[in-house]
Structure 1
Amino acid sequence: MIGFGKQTKQETAVLVLRDAPEIAGLLRQELGTATDDLRPGLERALELVSEVAAVPDAELRGRWVRQRLAAVGHEGPVDSVPAIKALREAEPGLSLRQAVSYAREAAAAGPGAEGTPGG
């Protein structure tokens, strides 16, 4: 995830970067020429990449919010006023509207979201 500076209301300040489709393609290519001893590991790697690729962008933004809040020491609810204030201090380029939206996504994802693939 990358935070950008000031954005217009129409833009998103947190860009979700996904390389999973490219990685999956490379793994499929390797599977085509893999020896029998390498095949199980490549198949498992392809399964994991597919799981990570299936995670919705909102969940990834929720994880990003939780990580940013943890980095600044916030331990309360992620959608509370102090959390939104801490998030905006941690990422000054976020508008109030964006911070509230991302905090709501993080709250909706729940506290266990960090334990999902890629988290």
Structure 2
Amino acid sequence: MKLFGREKEEEFTVLVVREADEVAEAVDQALRTAGPEERPGLERAAVLLATVRETTDAELRGNWARRKIAEAGVKGRADSVPAVKAIREAEPGLSLLQAVRLSQEAAALEDEERDGQGRTA
């Protein structure tokens, strides 16, 4: 699956694919017919899906960027030059501007967590 599209350099196009609604409906359907042994796991899944549905596109992009930065072994801030390089290497079709913006969204999530405002899933 491709998450990124390349448009003009000055445009920033990142497609976020969300299927949480469909998955949530499937979990709700399963809950309606679940036996007592299945119910706790399905209820937990429903809570997790509700959290995912509340996640903004910027948070999804920032979390993706943070994973790619971590996979590359980059230490330090998510908006550092090595982090931007790691993002571009993870998705070669990204422009420098797109990679910088993704790194900024990742850094914003780091700042929120440091300030104690981040959500956990």
Same fold (TM over 0.5): yes
Does structure 1 conserve the Cα–Cα contact (< 8 Å) formed by 2:6 and 2:13? Answer: no
Does structure 2 conserve the Cα–Cα contact (< 8 Å) formed by 1:62 and 1:103? Answer: yes
Distance 1:3 1:47, change over 3 A: closer
Distance 1:33 1:90, change over 3 A: closer
Aligned partners of 2:37, 2:103: CA distance in 1, in Å? Answer: 46
Aligned residues: 116
Aligned partners of 1:115, 1:56: CA distance in 2, in Å? Answer: 11
TM-superposition CA deviations, 1:5-57 (whole Å, max 9, x none): 633344524x3222211111011112222334433332222112111222212
Q: Structure 1 stretches of 5 or more lacking a match?
A: none
TM-score between both structures, scaled by the size of structure 2: 0.75
Please name the residue that 2:34 is paired with: 34
Aligned partners of 2:88, 2:25: CA distance in 1, in Å? Answer: 37
Distance 1:72 1:46, change over 3 A: same
Pair 1:12-2:13 in alignment: yes
Distance 1:36 1:106, change over 3 A: same
TM-score between both structures, scaled by the size of structure 1: 0.76
Does structure 2 conserve the Cα–Cα contact (< 8 Å) formed by 1:3 and 1:91? Answer: no
SS in 2 for 1:110: helix
Aligned partners of 1:38, 1:103: CA distance in 2, in Å? Answer: 40
Q: Structure 2 stretches of 5 or more lacking a match?
A: none
Please name the residue that 1:116 is paired with: 120
Please name the residue that 2:91 is paired with: 91
Does structure 1 conserve the Cα–Cα contact (< 8 Å) formed by 2:12 and 2:98? Answer: no
SS in 2 for 1:89: helix
Pair 1:57-2:61 in alignment: no
Please name the residue that 2:46 is paired with: 46
